[in-house]
Amino acid sequence: MKRWAICYVSTASPDMEEKDIDNILSYTENWNMDHNITGILLCSEGNFFQVIEGESAIIQELFANIAKDSRHRNLIKIFNKEIKNTTFTGYEAAFLSKQTKNLTQNISYLEYLKYLYPASQNTVKNMLKAFVD
């Protein structure tokens, strides 16, 4: 089976409310788990960061759908490539700004990671490190 991975960032459309984002997160978590898609969808401060990995045709078809979704814009692809093995072990969708809303101090993106499942934390940390190093 040919495996594919796509990673991008985008901006939520201005009319999006918290409940609309919650709907996207729960919908994607269900659909992706049912279709053996691994990865992550994070939403923080009105921005999305997503990685989807799985069977090539499914990933490319899903991405074409996501890319034309009017609930976000300014989509920037970070990678779009064939992979030997998947990096993520499951699929997680998280609304980071909500979980950290009650914190008064500003926290960095890397610090947000501690609100994810431990397995996702390491994968995202390694991915972000690749940009910094």
Residues that bind ligand FMN (CB under 6 A): 10, 24, 28, 31-32, 41, 48, 50, 52, 62, 65-66, 69, 71-72
Q: 12: which DSSP letter?
A: E
Report the 3 state secondary structure along 27-78: HHHHHHHHCCCEEEEEEECCEEEEEEEEEHHHHHHHHHHHHCCCCEEEEEEE
Provide the minimum distance between the beta carbon of 133 and ligand FMN in the complex, in angstroms, as a whole number.
Answer: 27
Residue closer to ligand FMN (CB basis): 7 or 41: 41
Residue closer to ligand FMN (CB basis): 50 or 104: 50
Strand order in the sheet with 3-12: 72-83, 3-12, 47-55, 38-44, 91-95
Provide the minimum distance between the beta carbon of 83 and ligand FMN in the complex, in angstroms, as a whole number.
Answer: 16
Residue closer to ligand FMN (CB basis): 32 or 120: 32
Contact, 88 vs 51, CB < 8 A? yes
Provide the minimum distance between the beta carbon of 56 and ligand FMN in the complex, in angstroms, as a whole number.
Answer: 15
Provide the minimum distance between the beta carbon of 43 and ligand FMN in the complex, in angstroms, as a whole number.
Answer: 8
89: which 2 tokens?
Answer: 């072990």
Residue closer to ligand FMN (CB basis): 62 or 113: 62
